[in-house]
A and B are shown apart, each in its own frame.
Chain A
């Protein structure tokens, strides 16, 4: 018998339609992935099954769990089902747990709120599920608080809470998006195991097609609140019928062709760089401790070269970036840009050789300024910034180069989409023709289709302006296509460096191998027609 059957589900929030005639089903022991880009309505679908929708939401259609029509249930009846028959895991493990309660109390709460068993037994059960999700008693007693755990460990606690009463259906909404690749692999493995052991159904919501392909038995592809295509993973991957599905998969494994780099001539030289942070004092009179975020790092970036820097969160790549940008001082070694030492008090003449594009397309701009003023901020460093017609022409030329229109100069930033904002950020980095641009996770916050177009833009700009850049990312597939050479960083050290293709196809260091093995990959689609 079908475990969850969603039929012609439509949803409006206020007067905005969010879902239109969504239908799919899940059998016991089956993993179904709902995928799509932002705004596709995939998370709303999950919340609709939980009946945890925003207040003004209005749902029509059928959501049937084990024969019970969920849309007809009263709020009290839904409370009895949530946690008992349906468990849910959310995206952000850092904030999904109550900071002032112990993990034991929070897992036990699921059991006690449903009066499933007396307190003593509930405690034993909580211990047992925590053990099951990989948090053994000796290191993770029930009395631990969430802030004492890492993100991956917290996500395990959230999973333990969701499965404590052995629900028939588990919903996981982007459960690994906030985690590093190696942690992601472990959590996905755990979810797969749990499904196999307990026979529950798993509804996983994710934007990451590689995860979907790895994990799911069946795929539901959504766009603008509608299901565009659904089917068994293997069949669907072999025979994609809808053009959107084809576009999505093509964009996910998008490759670009970079022009050949010129003959090596050093531009940026990092020599034995060391960066320490003070840690809080352990006692009132002790010296503050030190945390070495960057340990004796050396590398060279040649003129015209595209260099990648990969590593997981906390590996020191952001710290190194800030030091190269001259935003933070080094405690040892030196950084040379075109032969001049980079310090936190850079002369404008050196400073203007450097530019940066950040990750967050929403936080990168002062909301009160127009595009024209935003992208000309680096003019500040020029000895004789262009004025009048020359200035207007340069703005128009730069906006055109990044695929925007000259008229966009007069608009405010909130009038642009995330992808367009990232183009504006690139325009700002490009306008003074710097010698080096640093891309700090510059495409990580974008949807795959937008990301593919930004990568195309970068390749075009490389050809047109022979850019030199350092591309920092946690996303291996992106680094693989957009760089000539790459560095792998771990715990403040560079463990491997070499030609990008060489590093990826023949990794030397065990950590690099582990990273590459953990990253989910799309299977090669022999279809090719996409």
Chain B
């Protein structure tokens, strides 16, 4: 299954590379309009064609990758930053009121679909990339809290944790020294999956106008713009759509590949 890992790593790094290069160089200025050259299909000059204002799609895709990656990455960071400590705490204090409050809070956030959180936030604070990040990030918190707690709970039953308790270590120290390192693999894998879900969510939010606002380019809004022209210029929808699919596919393959690669049982079988 290292095939998944390699394909996923290649696709993901291509997208990262495109986003990084866009800071230094894009084929054209992604905001430059050129009405005479509008709605071109892919050709030698405009590799991915142009939109209804004659803007170069390749340049827009490259700059749009920055938005997608930034939003999804920060959202994963929020989710991990808050979710992992919550999950570790809940597991360390299993059955206490603290555990109960954390888990009920999780259930409550799960009852709000992420888009509904985004709607609420934009209704209150207005649309924008930052609010999209908050909306997606909040929804990531219970995901990480739950997965951390689940894995930590089974570790707390293990005898090496009992041995550490007999050695007089307190719950916080055991969580940091024994629990966290043993759930890292799981968190890395879940992180890539949430990252890919974040890309999809960002695209959805931008599509309905709740994400990054113009002039910041984003894949979702490119699709919204393409919608009315899909019958005569399908490439306007195909290009950003393919970009999203390849990115998400790459991240998912990377996550699957990492899971197999990091799984100690499978690794032992290999060596």
Direct contact of A and B (CB under 8 A): yes
Q: Does the CB pair B160–A348 fall under 8 Å? A: no
Q: Which of A355, A360, A366 makes the CB contact (< 8 A) with B166?
A: A355
Q: Which of A325, A327, A352, A365 makes the CB contact (< 8 A) with B160?
A: A365
Query: In the complex, A356 Cα to B165 Cα: how many Å?
Result: 10
Number of interface residues of B (CB under 8 A): 16
Number of interface residues of A (CB under 8 A): 26
Q: Confirm or deny: A368 has a beta carbon within 8 angstroms of a beta carbon on chain B.
A: yes
Q: Does the CB pair A368–B181 fall under 8 Å? A: yes
- Nearest CB in chain B: distance from A182 CB, A: 27
Q: Does the CB pair A380–B169 fall under 8 Å? A: yes
Q: Does the CB pair A380–B168 fall under 8 Å? A: yes
Q: Which of A346-361 contact B (CB under 8 A)?
A: 346, 348, 351-352, 354-356, 358-360
The interface residues of chain B lying within 8 Å CB-to-CB of A325 are 162, 165-166
Query: In the complex, A368 Cα to B158 Cα: how many Å?
Result: 14
Q: Does the CB pair A358–B182 fall under 8 Å? A: no
- Nearest CB in chain B: distance from A446 CB, A: 15
Q: Does the CB pair A364–B166 fall under 8 Å? A: no
Query: In the complex, A425 Cα to B162 Cα: how many Å?
Result: 12
- Nearest CB in chain A: distance from B234 CB, A: 46
Q: Does the CB pair A354–B181 fall under 8 Å? A: no
* A359 with B168, Cβ < 8 A, contacts A366-B178, A367-B264, A368-B182 known: no
Q: Confirm or deny: A363 has a beta carbon within 8 angstroms of a beta carbon on chain B.
A: yes
Q: Which of A197-222 contact B (CB under 8 A)?
A: none
Q: Does the CB pair A358–B159 fall under 8 Å? A: yes
Query: In the complex, A457 Cα to B242 Cα: how many Å?
Result: 66
Q: Which of B238-259 contact A (CB under 8 A)?
A: none
Q: Does the CB pair A352–B162 fall under 8 Å? A: no
Q: Does the CB pair A364–B163 fall under 8 Å? A: yes
* A359 with B159, Cβ < 8 A, contacts A366-B182, A368-B181, A368-B182 known: yes
The interface residues of chain A lying within 8 Å CB-to-CB of B165 are 325, 327
The interface residues of chain A lying within 8 Å CB-to-CB of B178 are 366
Q: Confirm or deny: A407 has a beta carbon within 8 angstroms of a beta carbon on chain B.
A: no
Q: Name the CB-closest residue of B to A380.
A: B167
Q: Which of B159, B168, B268 makes the CB contact (< 8 A) with A346?
A: B168
Q: Confirm or deny: B164 has a beta carbon within 8 angstroms of a beta carbon on chain A.
A: yes
Q: Does the CB pair A378–B167 fall under 8 Å? A: yes
1/0 per residue, CB under 8 A from B, across A463-504: the answer is 000000000000000000000000000000000000000000
The interface residues of chain B lying within 8 Å CB-to-CB of A381 are 167-168
Q: Which of B164, B168, B181 makes the CB contact (< 8 A) with A352?
A: B168
Q: Which of A348, A367, A377 makes the CB contact (< 8 A) with B163?
A: A377
Interface residues of chain B, those whose CB is within 8 Å of chain A, are 158-160, 162-169, 178, 181-182, 264, 268
Interface residues of chain A, those whose CB is within 8 Å of chain B, are 325-327, 346, 348, 351-352, 354-356, 358-360, 363-368, 377-378, 380-381, 414, 425, 428
- The 5 nearest A-B residue pairs measured at CB: A358-B159, A364-B159, A351-B168, A363-B159, A377-B167
Query: A327-B162, A352-B168, A380-B169 given. 20 additional CB < 8 A pairs?
Result: A325-B165, A325-B166, A327-B166, A348-B168, A351-B166, A351-B167, A356-B163, A356-B166, A363-B158, A364-B158, A364-B160, A366-B178, A366-B182, A367-B182, A377-B167, A378-B166, A378-B167, A381-B167, A381-B168, A428-B163
